[in-house]
C-alpha cells in the first residue's frame, strides 16, 4: 500500500499536528504512485486561500497603482504567507513581521493586509505592492496560480 503523508507543523504555542492521507492510498495496488512514503514537513496554505489572496493582490495593485516585484518569487511567497495567516488566524496578517501575539494583532488590525502603512503611504515592506519608482518594481499587476506554484516549488 502506497501512502503519501503530509505533516502539517505549526511552531506556535498551541501546536497542532494534522496528518492528511489522500484517498488514493487505499485504492488497488495496481494504481501505484511512483512516490513512496513522501513526508514533507513544509506547511502549505489552502488552495482556496491562495486563490483569494492572489485575486486580492491583483485587484489591490491595480487600485493602488502599484506593481509586483520583478522577481515574482517574492510576490508568490508573500501571497502564500497572506493565505497561510488567513487559514490560521482568519485574517491576512502581514507575513513579513514578527509578532508577540498574532490573534491580538489580527484583532487590532494595523497589520492586516492591506496594512495601514500601505493604505496611508503605499509602503509595503513585503515587496508585494511596489510604487513605479521602486528599483524592484516590475511592470506587471497580474500573477497566475501557475506562476505562484512554480516559483514556490522549493519552499
Task: Name the minimum Å distance from CB 142 to other proteins.
Answer: 17
Task: Name the minimum Å distance from CB 7 to other proteins.
Answer: 8
Q: What is the largest CA-CA distance in the chain?
A: 59
Smaller CB separation from other proteins, 69 or 106: 69
**Hey, how many other C-beta atoms are within 10 angstroms of the C-beta on 59?**
11
Smaller CB separation from other proteins, 75 or 112: 75
Interface residue list for other proteins (CB under 8 A): 9, 11-12, 15, 41-43, 69, 71, 73-78, 80-81, 84, 95-98, 100, 125-128, 155
> Is 96 in the active site?
yes
Burial (0-12, 13-18, 19+ Cβ within 10 Å), 29: exposed
List Cα–Cα distances, 42 to 14, 96, 99, 132, 151, in angstroms: 18, 18, 21, 34, 15
Smaller CB separation from other proteins, 61 or 128: 128
* Catalytic annotation, residues: 96
Amino acid at each position: 500500500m502506497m501512502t503519501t503523508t503530509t505533516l502539517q507543523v505549526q511552531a506556535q504555542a498551541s501546536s497542532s499536528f494534522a496528518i492528511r492521507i489522500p484517498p488514493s492510498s487505499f485504492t488497488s495496488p495496481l494504481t501505484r504512485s511512483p512516490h513512496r512514503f513522501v513526508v514533507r514537513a513544509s506547511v502549505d496554505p489552502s488552495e482556496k486561500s491562495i486563490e483569494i489572496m492572489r485575486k486580492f493582490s491583483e485587484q489591490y495593485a491595480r487600485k493602488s497603482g502599484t506593481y509586483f516585484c520583478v522577481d515574482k518569487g517574492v510576490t508568490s511567497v508573500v501571497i502564500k504567507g497572506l493565505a497561510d495567516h488567513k487559514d490560521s488566524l482568519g485574517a491576512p496578517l502581514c507575513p513579513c513581521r514578527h509578532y508577540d501575539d498574532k490573534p491580538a494583532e489580527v484583532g487590532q488590525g494595523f497589520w492586516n493586509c492591506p496594512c495601514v502603512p500601505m493604505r496611508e503611504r503605499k509602503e509595503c515592506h513585503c515587496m508585494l505592492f511596489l510604487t513605479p519608482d521602486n528599483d524592484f518594481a516590475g511592470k506587471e499587476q497580474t500573477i497566475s496560480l501557475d506562476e505562484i506554484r512554480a516559483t514556490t516549488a522549493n519552499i
